[in-house]
Amino acid sequence: MIDLHRLRLLREVHVRGTLHAAARSLGYSPSAVSQQLAVLEREAGAVLLTRVGRNVRLTEAGQVLVRHADSLLEGVEAAEAEVAAVAAGRLAGTVRIAAFQSAFLQIVAPTIRALSAQHPGIRLEATEADVEQSVPALRLHQLDVLLGDEYQDQPRVLHSQFQRDTVLREPVNIVLPAGHPEASSRHITLARLADLPWAACQPGTGHHEMHLRACRQLGGFEPDLRYTSDDLLILLEMVRTAGAGALLPDLVIDADAPGVVVRPFDAQGVEREIFLLTRQNRSPTIEAVTEGLLAARGGSGT
């Protein structure tokens, strides 16, 4: 009989590409992973992995086993959650959430508070992480719910094995120091801010690409990106204290943020969508958590 724990190891190696990477993610030694996979090959009666340089690749038999592993492991996960709920007489179990900073603060934290009263049997674990880091963990059942963001006209990779729900759509705003000459305008033309130093996220991020595209397409200039951080609250602080400009979504900015003014674009602007991903066939416990996250900001599934 094939051991489910060893199936998880095989799937981890498949996703990570090397025994060392799989072992590191699981907290095992490479030799321990190798030994367990050798046992799995004996259980399956077939060679499951072949070496390609420093990496490993699944054989045809290994690919068949990984394909079935997903449904088997999801079935076990759902059964465990249902048994726990029956035993407790209520929804129960652990749900692991990953979210980027502003969603963590404004969506995840309020949901944890609300669900602790509604479903005290559910244990929520949350961590700050971006989408790229979290998708493999979601696929490998190391996470259960992922909150990510996507800027207008910059679609992220579609993952057909996941269910995606829209939490909210929000505008991106122009944020200026309170003393800036344009601060008194109700709507701001981006082109009039070409000489401003700007604060944006690091190169390679969706926010960085959005900022460049907005300045080039809507403003007609190349922005002077003088301050960079993937922490949007730091960008807000650079507007307040260093006289920079920033393009920030609603979720980042308090209505009474001191020292800054928040203005919409005077023409067609930019939107950001916040979405959540889960594996298909959500258990009742995970369904309750996703409903709580959607309700936290008045979102609705798509």
- For residue 54, the domain's CATH number is 1.10.10.10
Mean pLDDT over all residues of the chain?
Answer: 86
Nearest to 146 by CA among 166, 131, 165: 131
Residue 300 has pLDDT above 50, yes or no: no
Residue 302: what pLDDT? 38
Helix, strand, coil percentages in the chain from 3-state DSSP, rounded to 5: 45, 25, 30
Asked if 163 and 277 sit in the same domain, the reply is yes
Asked if 222 and 245 sit in the same domain, the reply is yes
Asked if 197 and 157 sit in the same domain, the reply is no
Asked if 150 and 180 sit in the same domain, the reply is no
DSSP three-state, residue 145: strand
Residue 82 lies in a domain: no
Residue 185: what pLDDT? 85
H helix intervals, the chain? 4-16, 19-26, 30-44, 60-88, 101-103, 109-118, 131-139, 206-213, 232-242, 284-296
Residue 180: what pLDDT? 93
Q: Which range among 124-128, 166-170, 282-286 shows the weakest confidence by mean pLDDT?
A: 282-286
More confident position, 53 or 124: 124
Query: Is residue 86 very low, low, confident or very high in pLDDT (cuts 50, 70, 90)?
Result: low
Q: Roughly how many angstroms between the first and final C-alpha of the chain, as a whole number?
A: 40
Number of domains in the chain: 3
Asked if 11 and 96 sit in the same domain, the reply is no
H helix intervals, 89-168? 101-103, 109-118, 131-139
Asked if 157 and 178 sit in the same domain, the reply is no
DSSP three-state, residue 265: strand
DSSP three-state, residue 101: helix
Residue 158: what pLDDT? 82
64-68 contacts, C-beta under 8 A, 24 or more apart: 65/2, 65/7, 65/10, 66/10, 66/11, 66/14
Residue 256: what pLDDT? 62
Asked if 149 and 183 sit in the same domain, the reply is no
The 10s digit of each residue's pLDDT in 55-76 is 778 888 888 888 777 777 777 7
Residue 152 has pLDDT above 80, yes or no: yes
Residue 214 lies in a domain: yes
Expressed as residue numbers, the domain containing 42 is: 4-73
Query: Is residue 80 very low, low, confident or very high in pLDDT (cuts 50, 70, 90)?
Result: low
Residue 255: what pLDDT? 58
| CA-based radius of gyration for the chain | 23
